[in-house]
Amino acid sequence: MIFLGKAWRLLVGIKDGLVLIAMLLFFGALYTFLSGNPNAGAMREGALLVSLDGTIVEQPESTSPQELLTGSSAPARQHRLRDVVHGLEYAATDKRVKVIALDLDSFWGGGHVALQRVGEALDKVRKAGKPIIAYATGYSDDSYQLAAHASEIWLDPMGMAFIAGPGGAQPYYKGLIDKLGVNVHVYRVGKFKSFVEPYIRTEQSPEAKQAGQELADAIFSAWKADVGAARPKARIDAYIADPAAAIAGGSMAQGARANGLVDKLGDRLAWARRIGEIAGTDSDAPADTFRATEFADYIEAHPAPSHGEIGIVTIAGDIVDGEAPAGTAGGETISRLVLDGLAQGNLKALVVRIDSPGGSAIASEKMRQAILEAKKQGLPVVVSMGNVAASGGYWVSTVGDKVFAEPATITGSIGVFGIIPTFENTLAKAGVSADGVQTTPLSGQPDILRGTNDVTDRLMQGGIDDIYARFTKLVASERKLPLARVQEIAQGRVWDGGTARQIGLIDAFGSLDDAIAEAARRAKLDPKSATPFYLEHIPNWFELMAQGWLSGDAPAHMAADPWSMLIARQQATLATGLADGLSVLSGPAVQVRCLSCPAVPRPEARDSLFKSLINKVFS
């Protein structure tokens, strides 16, 4: 009886727990529904507070229900590029918005192309006669690129403007691999296909260093051109050439002001008072506040059109096989979105927006085949490249009737590689051996315990050669280039958009809006009235609730002092590089992927790395 009583209490406890969880989910969903749709009429007159904590991306990563229920850490806050642009452009014509308060204190950055597009939206606000007042404790390259478009730039008196330019170190694993005894079998085509170099070298090859330097120089030139046009009075070149000499009276903040990089030195309280002079303040509110509407609420209250004749499919993040959540381009997921969109019969044209360094060759081809269905149905297809459209991303882009990119877009990387690690030497160090029988030369291959044999190596390299031949022939056919010319400019080399246009890899410079207008013209529609419709997964109520709960987290917030912010960014860059590099080992054996393409640092990658190290130390 005692046992039955304990069992009954356990069952009752489980039942009560399930009821509690159900109630929490219900009321959480109700709260999300009621609070997640701001009333446009309830927006306050005054300032629009644009706090860009986190990063600007083409497509934010989604949070799965499993991550919410298991308490997994959410990715740092990510702002969708088109939402930021739409919100700013709408604010330019909104009479209730008197001033833009641009808070860049915890801005981690975004690709150059994305930031340039946001800068253009900020320029529209200024042309409408509305001031933009930016603030940060410290400005880095990305945050200053946005701040340069403000009418007033404020910097904390204890802060600094730290303009470093693109470049830096990346991890190479060969020394560790040798110590562990891992044998890395590499198969590749293209002398510039540097993705495998961290596994077989301790430093960059001369070819990779040359290509990387040229790419970094091109991107930095585009950055200086954008900043210079937005803020011509800033003596950027002199400040960059010798920032130590630019320090006035021992203060980096005063040096930034003396060289015209910033207008005012003041803390957050002074900045808030300045905005309050324009936006107004409430008599019973704290001194560091002003009448304002949060940017997230403003975007929710003024959404972009949800239907139209121009379908837009977004290929963002790593290209992987199968299905994948937003922020990663799953071959099956993207293909299904395209095919379902075409089945509705309302689309007149298709725009393919690409912001991806590539990944799986099979997934890339699967997406391309789905997009080809649009062409078979008579729809024009226009490609718009964002920050990156390289390797697998470029593979998909070959389907376009016309391909747009920006001068600073990173593209090309037409090459293929494969990598298989085996552990025969590692096992030998531990006194472990492996043996067995085989009926053919391929029995048990690729053998990770004893190593690959010659037949496997030849087959693997032959497969790599075949995919590379398919890649180059595809480019030659679709881009109307001689095959010999494609083989010359391929070799896995990464190109900036300006050079890519010169060598025929893209057709024209232009934004996503330009691509939409071109698609409309090709579909015999008026570009001014044609509206876009995004082919994407619509979150269900649970996913919306998860996003609402996790949006309050602020893992993107960095330490207040500028040096700590810079160190945090470098740590995140290292962790992101490690995560990207190690993901190759768990990905498909054959990939069309770009390593030279710079990625925006992910704060959550740094946090995950630190947690792993702490667990290793104390476990």
Contacts of 538 (CB under 8 A, 6+ apart): none
Rounded distance between C-alpha atoms, residue 496 and residue 500, angstroms: 6
291: CB partners within 8 A, 6+ apart: 44, 45, 46, 47, 276, 279, 280, 281, 282
One of 193, 348, 366, 402 is an active-site residue; which one?
193
Q: How many CA atoms lie within 13 A of 379 on its CB side?
A: 27
> Which of these is catalytic: 51, 194, 391, 397?
391
Please write down the HEC assignment for all residues of 336-382.
Answer: HHHHHHHHCCCCCEEEEEEEECEEEHHHHHHHHHHHHHHHHCCCCEE
CB 308 within 8 A of CB 531: yes
Distance between CA atoms of 171 and 199, rounded to whole angstroms?
A: 10
Active site annotation includes 193: yes
552 backbone φψ class: left, alpha, beta (φ>0; ψ -120 to 50):
alpha
- Please provide residue 62's backbone torsions phi and psi, each rounded to the nearest 5 degrees: -90, 155
Rounded-to-10 torsion of CA 68, 69, 73, 79:
0
Q: Is 151 helix (H, G, I), strand (E, B) or coil?
A: coil
Residue among 304, 280, 301, 291 nearest 42 (CA): 301
3-state secondary structure 400-464: CCEEEECCCCEEECCCEEEEEEECHHHHHHCCCCCCCCCCCCCCCCCCCCCCCCHHHHHHHHHHH
Q: Which residues contact 211 (CB under 8 A, 6 or more apart)?
A: 192, 194, 493, 494, 596
CA atoms of 237 and 219, how far apart (whole Å): 15
Amino acid at position 564, single letter: S
Residue 264 β-bridge partners: 154
Active-site residue flag, 64: no
Catalytic positions are: 193, 391
